[in-house]
């Protein structure tokens, strides 16, 4: 469900422009308000919805999610650590979905250039950048050997079922 901006609520702060990974949130040079210039390229990540201090961004619900005549309203409540979706149907029924959101302080996340450059040896590692530190996995990531995988009871059961079927 791509997003759109209520231009009367937007104050042109540009947070949505900064955060959009698809680079489709732009400030209209005439109105000085944000606009999603290419909804077809929207990742539907809702980073802009969560970042907008004016609650000025909503999404266009697809018909399977919200049938004709519906309204979908997104409510960002960082003080509660939640984001809520309110669907209003033509017959007046409402459905509300509340989901947790990250409440990392705005501007507190370091950008990639602020991290130490990785060594060439890290290309041979199975870990991605800043793992395991940023996964908060003390003592490293869990691994499983091939032998352990074969001993797993479900795998064993499947193997014996397959053999029995032959």
Chain residues that interact with ligand SF4, rule: CB under 6 A: 3, 5, 10-16, 19-22, 24-25, 34, 36, 42-48, 51-52, 54, 56-57
Minimum separation from the CB atom of position 32 to ligand SF4 (A) = 9
- Locate all alpha helices (DSSP H) within 5-138, ordered by sequence: 15-19, 47-51
Decide: 74 and 57 in contact? Cβ < 8 Å: yes
Q: The tokens 């996340």 sit on which residue?
A: 109
Is 85 considered catalytic here? no
Distance from C-alpha of 53 to C-alpha of 16, rounded to nearest angstrom: 10
Q: Which of 41, 43, 62, 115 is catalytic?
A: 43
Distance from C-alpha of 111 to C-alpha of 109, rounded to nearest angstrom: 6
- Residue number with CB closer to ligand SF4 (28 or 89): 28
Minimum separation from the CB atom of position 19 to ligand SF4 (A) = 6
- Residue number with CB closer to ligand SF4 (12 or 132): 12
Residue 21: burial class (beta carbons within 10 Å; 0-12, 13-18, 19+): exposed
- Residue number with CB closer to ligand SF4 (43 or 115): 43
Minimum separation from the CB atom of position 77 to ligand SF4 (A) = 15
Strand, helix or coil at 86? strand
- Residue number with CB closer to ligand SF4 (40 or 161): 40
Distance from C-alpha of 50 to C-alpha of 18, rounded to nearest angstrom: 13
Minimum separation from the CB atom of position 154 to ligand SF4 (A) = 38
> Which positions are catalytic?
43
């Amino acid at each position: 469900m791509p997003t759109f901006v209520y231009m009367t609520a937007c104050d042109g702060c540009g947070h949505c422009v900064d955060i959009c990974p698809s680079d489709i949130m732009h400030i209209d040079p005439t109105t000085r308000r944000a606009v999603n210039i290419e909804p077809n390229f929207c990742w539907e990540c809702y980073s802009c919805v969560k970042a907008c201090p004016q609650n000025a961004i909503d999404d266009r619900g697809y018909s399977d999610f919200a049938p004709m005549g519906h309204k979908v309203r997104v409510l960002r409540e960082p003080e509660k650590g939640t984001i809520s979706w309110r669907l209003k149907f033509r017959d007046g029924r409402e459905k509300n979905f509340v989901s947790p959101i990250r409440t990392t302080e705005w501007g507190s996340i370091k950008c990639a250039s602020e991290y130490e450059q990785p060594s060439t040896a890290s290309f041979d590692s199975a870990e991605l950048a800043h793992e395991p530190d940023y996964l908060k996995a003390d003592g490293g990531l869990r691994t499983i050997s091939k032998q352990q995988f074969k001993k797993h009871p479900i795998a064993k059961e499947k193997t014996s079922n397959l053999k029995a079927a032959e």
